[in-house]
Amino acid sequence: KLVRDIIKRPPIVAKATISVPEASKILIEKNINHLPIVDENNCIMGIITSWDIAKAMAQSKTTISDIMTKYVVWASPDEPIEMVAKKMSANNISGLPIVDNNKKVLGVISAEDISKLIGHYI
């Protein structure tokens, strides 16, 4: 199976101009843990997870660009799912934005999505 077979659309993304409380609200209300931060063209600039929100609290940081991870590990829609799982384990992360050739965000794949997929087969 390829990434494109399990990708969910439309992607939930946010701009770097949102506040930290707004980002935490999106994570809770949308029941997600990976929020890609995008520019005006929807291209990936960073990623926020609940871990980064905790960091904002611990270090009294107030802006998204201060707490987001800027070096984002991503995958393309044409990659096999196994490659996504490998990237997650190699980088100690639990979700990857899926981007097109222009780095536009198409969706997110989480470890939860992969475990559901495996659970379906066993």
Binding site for ligand SAM (CB under 6 A): 34, 47, 49, 51-52, 69, 72-73, 92-96
Give the residue with the Cβ less far from ligand SAM, 22 or 121. 22
Phi-psi region of 31 (alpha: psi -120 to 50; beta: other; left: phi over 0): left
Compute the least distance from the CB of residue 63 to ligand SAM, in Å: 15
Two structure tokens written together for 97: 């934005």
Question: Least CB distance from residue 5 to ligand SAM, whole Å?
Answer: 20
Work out how close the CB of 84 gets to ligand SAM at its nearest, in angstroms, rounded to a whole number: 10
In sequence order, which residues have a C-beta less than 8 Å from that of residue 111 and are 6 or more positions away?
Answer: 85, 88, 94, 95
The answer to whether the beta carbons of residues 109 and 6 sit under 8 Å apart is yes
The alpha carbon of residue 43 and the mean position of all alpha carbons in its chain are separated, in whole angstroms, by 13
Q: Which residue is nearest to ligand SAM (CB)?
A: 94
Q: What is the smallest separation between the CB atom of 18 and ligand SAM, expressed in angstroms?
A: 15
Of 45 and 119, CB closest to ligand SAM: 45
